[in-house]
Amino acid sequence: MTQENALCDIGFIGLGVMGKNLVLNLADNGFNIAAFDLDNEKVKGVIDQDRAENEGGKARVFGCSSYTELLSKLKAPHLIVLSVPAGAPVDQVCGSLIGAGIQPDDIVIDTGNSLWVDTVAREEKYKSQFILFSSAVSGGEVGARFGPALMPSGSPYAWARIKPIWEAISAKVDPITGKPIERTAPGETIEHGDPCAAYIGPAGAGHYVKMVHNGIEYADMQIICEAYHVLRNGLGMSCEEVADTFEQWNRGPLDSYLMEISVEVLRQTVGDNNEPLVDLILDKAGQKGTGLWTAVSSLEVGCPAPTISQAVYARSLSSFKEIRQQASTILEGPAPSTLTEQEKTQFISRLHDAIYCSKICAYAQGFQLMKLAEKEHNWTLNFANIAKIWRAGCIIRAVFLQSITEAFTRDADLENLLLDEFFAKQLNLHQQNWRQSIADATLLGIPVGALSSALSYFDSVRTAVLPANLLQGQRDFFGAHTFERLDQTPGKKYHVQWSTKERDLVEL
């Protein structure tokens, strides 16, 4: 067969769920792929799927049984995409490609969730052997198959080569409405719309932005889970009723992929009695680490991101199931709700506003974190573009991202989303319901750490004078750490000689 002898456009390594779907997406968009995985069954699997989906058409995916064979099947300079787990596997594959004879102008794209500092180090480490480019992918298996959000970063030379491919396979957004253009069938392609793939910056910047995407994802998920908990355990609603409420909310400003899939999960039943599946799922949350990395980075760059961090803590707390079970028999909570139907309706509508406001704060934290990281690492990030590429394909895709795009289009240097006129108006308008909703949940004994951390964040950001004045006094008392005064020249330091009887104020 002549095609078998023709050289392929792209080499692909790692054919797990994400890898296999990215290969088929690339194939739909007209690229020929040489595919390799250490597990030969996975190579066979993707070839079978290519043939099945493309029955009667030309083969688009060609299997390889070694790194050497993979390189030999590619057009030069070689373009190789990796979809392998973050960490050591990336270096193992890079080492194997060097052994197989990869060339200095060949490009290797790491699409995994690598820690951004590892990406920076790798680009440097391998630069004399090949060009390491990074491009995190968001959207799970369906996104990978029919259009993910892509966050490419690294060598601009490599990007020039990758751009048409990435723009072809990415999710697309209608430029007028800001809504995703659906593509759900094998073989389909979308030729129009704004692609959800834009160059982020130098090495590591794309992985950093993807990390923050995941931090926001953690917060968004936790906010929805807290709302579910309040409705289910606080108001005693059934899974169906909570799903109905979420479905209704999903038609307004809370319209998002995460809300949509929550409805699906809540409606899933099992067994003859149609028991809700969610009631049978063990309540211990897993995590692969990107949320934790975001929280750690927020502490390192000094960016307050309490709702993101709280979402990580909530997952950790959930894993202490045995302690929680024991404590539930010892520690008492308040009496159950005795609300009337009318009170319940008002309660639910307040909760809607609490989710909306908390979500705004979680995104504000994520975007401010990227802003501070940009300064620290000397990147030039385009926040309107970042919000744009998150409008479709990725896990946090939501109608709401259009408003964020507009906020950064109005002011590219916006320091915090809470200062944007649209978001400030939303928060001012809905804050009373937000406050009342947190009081509602607290009085019922339902933990709402993400919702309430967001409210505290909002209240802190809008408070011109915080109690850090007393804190500075405490620090000066025990450690002579000095303080500045509001009524004196900024930058001038003062110290009180606390241990003396006179407690003289010393100007330093």
Say whether residue 220 binds ligand 6PG (CB under 6 A). Answer: no
**Which lies closer to ligand 6PG via its Cβ, residue 77 or residue 140?**
140
d(CA 25, CA 188): 9
Residues in contact with ligand 6PG, total (CB under 6 A)? Answer: 13
Report, in Å, the least distance between residue 162 CB and ligand 6PG. Answer: 19
Q: Which of 140, 186, 202, 447 binds ligand 6PG (CB under 6 A)?
A: 140
| Residue 490, helix vs strand vs coil | coil
**Where does this chain touch ligand 6PG (CB under 6 A) — which range of 2-10, 66-74, 133-141, 370-378?**
133-141
Identify which of 246, 60, 213, 47 has the alpha carbon closest to the alpha carbon of residue 140: 213
Instruction: Give the residue at shortest CB distance from ligand 6PG.
Output: 138
201 and 381 Cβ atoms separated by less than 8 Å: yes
| Residue 298, helix vs strand vs coil | helix
56 and 82 Cβ atoms separated by less than 8 Å: no
**Which lies closer to ligand 6PG via its Cβ, residue 246 or residue 293?**
293
119 and 203 Cβ atoms separated by less than 8 Å: yes
Catalytically annotated residues: 210, 217
Question: For residue 160, with 0-12 CB atoms within 10 Å meaning exposed, 13-18 middle and 19 or more buried, which class applies?
Answer: exposed
Q: Which of 114, 250, 290, 358 binds ligand 6PG (CB under 6 A)?
A: 290
Report, in Å, the least distance between residue 319 CB and ligand 6PG. Answer: 13
Report, in Å, the least distance between residue 324 CB and ligand 6PG. Answer: 20
Say whether residue 297 binds ligand 6PG (CB under 6 A). Answer: no
H-assigned helices in 127-256: 140-146, 156-169, 205-229, 239-249
- How far is it between the farthest Cα atoms of the chain? 96
- One-letter amino acid at 282 equals L
Other CB atoms within a 10 A radius of the CB of residue 491 amount to 6
**Which lies closer to ligand 6PG via its Cβ, residue 290 or residue 310?**
290
Identify which of 101, 62, 74 has the alpha carbon closest to the alpha carbon of residue 7: 74
Report, in Å, the least distance between residue 148 CB and ligand 6PG. Answer: 7
Question: For residue 282, with 0-12 CB atoms within 10 Å meaning exposed, 13-18 middle and 19 or more buried, which class applies?
Answer: exposed
Please enumerate in sequence order all residues whose Cβ is within 8 A of that of 340, keeping only pairs 6 or more positions apart, or say none. none
Q: Which of 32, 119, 214, 437 binds ligand 6PG (CB under 6 A)?
A: 214
Residues numbered 40 to 99 that lie near ligand 6PG (CB under 6 A) are none
Say whether residue 288 binds ligand 6PG (CB under 6 A). Answer: yes
Report, in Å, the least distance between residue 291 CB and ligand 6PG. Answer: 6
d(CA 495, CA 477): 9
**Which lies closer to ligand 6PG via its Cβ, residue 364 or residue 395?**
395
**Which lies closer to ligand 6PG via its Cβ, residue 130 or residue 367?**
367
Say whether residue 138 binds ligand 6PG (CB under 6 A). Answer: yes
**Where does this chain touch ligand 6PG (CB under 6 A) — which range of 190-198, 280-288, 365-373, 447-455?**
280-288
| Residue 12, helix vs strand vs coil | strand
d(CA 27, CA 62): 11
Say whether residue 114 binds ligand 6PG (CB under 6 A). Answer: no
Report, in Å, the least distance between residue 117 CB and ligand 6PG. Answer: 18
Peptide bond into 77 cis (omega under 30): yes
Beta strands 79-82; 10-13: pairing state? parallel
Report, in Å, the least distance between residue 151 CB and ligand 6PG. Answer: 10
Please enumerate in sequence order all residues whose Cβ is within 8 A of that of 474, keeping only pairs 6 or more positions apart, or say none. none
Residues numbered 363 to 402 that lie near ligand 6PG (CB under 6 A) are 394-395
d(CA 360, CA 414): 15
**Which lies closer to ligand 6PG via its Cβ, residue 217 or residue 440?**
217
Report, in Å, the least distance between residue 89 CB and ligand 6PG. Answer: 15
**Where does this chain touch ligand 6PG (CB under 6 A) — which range of 58-66, 174-182, 287-295, 381-389?**
287-295
Binding site for ligand 6PG (CB under 6 A): 113, 138-140, 214, 217, 286-288, 290-291, 394-395
